[in-house]
Amino acid sequence: MTTTAPADRSPATTAEEFTAAWEAFGLATRRARARLGREDGIDLTASQLHLLEPLAAGEGLTVGRLAEAAGVSPPTATRMLDGLERRAVVVRSAHGEDRRCVNVRLTNSGSELVRRKRAAVAARRAELFARLDPAEADEATRLLSRLADLVDEL
């Protein structure tokens, strides 16, 4: 898919500068995720949280649906769920209609763990948001939403 650049783009911004900023943001985000995992004392990684978040509504889902929602392969999701099941965060059971599928649900302690981790992540994002002035917050929100849409189109 070929797209054209808007005519009003600043000539000072190059594709290389955009790439450098994109990579710096990605690295900073990964470092922040790692720090949060160490600092919040909640024994759940960001990757595990992404895998488990669809279960927070209380409904069971198949491993395949969880993998798709988290953006990981089903074997990766299965390996992650193995460890989470050993820690009694999730419980797996046979799917009622398809013997090939396995349903996954959060345990009560798993639901609490996800709730606490989501709260810690939300608090960290609120701290970040508070450090932006109103114009920056508006622009960041607009650009992040736009970039998310563009990335989903790729």
pLDDT digits (tens, 9 = 90+) for 69-113: 898 999 999 999 999 999 999 999 887 777 777 899 999 999 999
Evaluate if residue 128 carries a pLDDT over 70. yes
Evaluate if residue 65 carries a pLDDT over 80. yes
The Cα 94–Cα 33 span in angstroms is 33
pLDDT cut 90: percent of the chain above it: 51
Q: Look at residue 81 in the predicted model and tell me its pLDDT.
A: 95
The Cα 139–Cα 48 span in angstroms is 30
Q: Look at residue 111 in the predicted model and tell me its pLDDT.
A: 94
Place of tokens 């509504």: 57
Q: What's the mean pLDDT when you consider all of the chain?
A: 87
Residue 24 CA, chain-centre distance (Å), reads 18
Structure-model confidence comparison of residues 3 and 137, the more confident one: 137
Q: What is the mean pLDDT of residues 49-62?
A: 90
- Count of C-beta atoms within a 10 Å radius of residue 143: 10
The 3-state DSSP class for residue 61 equals: strand
Residue 53 DSSP symbol: G
Q: Look at residue 2 in the predicted model and tell me its pLDDT.
A: 43
> 70: Cβ–Cβ under 8 A, 6 or more apart, which residues?
47, 50, 51, 54, 77
Structure-model confidence comparison of residues 94 and 115, the more confident one: 115
Question: Confidence class of residue 10 from pLDDT cuts 50, 70 and 90?
Answer: low
- Count of C-beta atoms within a 10 Å radius of residue 26: 10
The Cα 112–Cα 118 span in angstroms is 10
Evaluate if residue 46 carries a pLDDT over 80. yes
Q: What is the mean pLDDT of residues 13-39?
A: 85
Q: Look at residue 9 in the predicted model and tell me its pLDDT.
A: 57
The Cα 64–Cα 98 span in angstroms is 13
Residue 21: what residue type? A
Helix, strand, coil fractions of the chain, as percent rounded to 5: 65, 10, 25
Evaluate if residue 5 carries a pLDDT over 70. no
Helices and strands, number each (H, E), in the chain? 6, 3
